Amino acid sequence: AQSVTQLDSQVPVFEEAPVELRCNYSSSVSVYLFWYVQYPNQGLQLLLKYLSGSTLVKGINGFEAEFNKSQTSFHLRKPSVHISDTAEYFCAVSVPGADKLIFGTGTRLQVFP
Amino acid sequence: DADVTQTPRNRITKTGKRIMLECSQTKGHDRMYWYRQDPGLGLRLIYYSFDVKDINKGEISDGYSVSRQAQAKFSLSLESAIPNQTALYFCATSDFRGGEVQYFGAGTRLSVL
């Protein structure tokens, strides 16, 4: 079975500072990896995904993530955050072909002026 | 207009009542999902359907049932609502050709008193 661990439930950061949201996964088979963002009172939308190929994945709004197979991690980074990045971020994993996502418990990013 | 529409957006009901949450999509996707979101628990899969004749239980299906009325419509029912079903419910869709990316509705906030 697969599982996802998001190590930080909340991450407070000042505007224009860099941020890293951590995600580790567990799986005995190859997986696809995703980051979704949930803005207040909205559904989830895809930030970025790793299916194969380059381990550095760039997404929307200046976010990027790096797949590290040896560390079983898929951490999300942004070099300079904005107030508008305040949201909840979910890491998710799926087994290719299964078409089912398994989500982490989420990290609430709070950006302060 | 939203590609994945959930109705109602908010609902308050009483213990023991039957309630139906509806989801419709205009994306033409064959796969649809129902999740519930609870604080600190992330999203958990209730039911999923890969086509009109295919319905599958997720990890927390007890107390819920679903109906796939058409490719575009997938309803979630609580036959006899209980307070611990108070949560935020999301519908999502995906296309088997889409690299397993899921697209989410805006959610239904359900309170069971």
Tens-place pLDDT, residues B67-101: 999 999 999 999 999 999 999 999 999 987 666 78
pLDDT string in tens for chain A (113-residue length) = 889 999 999 999 999 999 999 999 999 888 999 999 999 888 999 999 999 888 999 999 999 999 999 999 999 999 999 999 999 999 999 988 777 899 999 999 999 99
- Give the per-residue pLDDT at A52: 86
B-contacting residues in A 10-29 (Cβ below 8 Å): none
Q: Report whether pLDDT(B53) > 70.
A: yes
String of DSSP letters for A13-67: EETT--EEE--EEE-SS--EEEEEEE-TTS-EEEEEEE-SS-SEEE-GGG-EEEE
- Give the per-residue pLDDT at A98: 78
- Give the per-residue pLDDT at A2: 86
Q: What is the DSSP letter of B28?
A: -
Chain B interface disruption, residue of A99, A103, A105, A107, most B CBs within 10 A: A99
Q: Decide if A63 contacts A77 (C-beta within 8 A).
A: yes
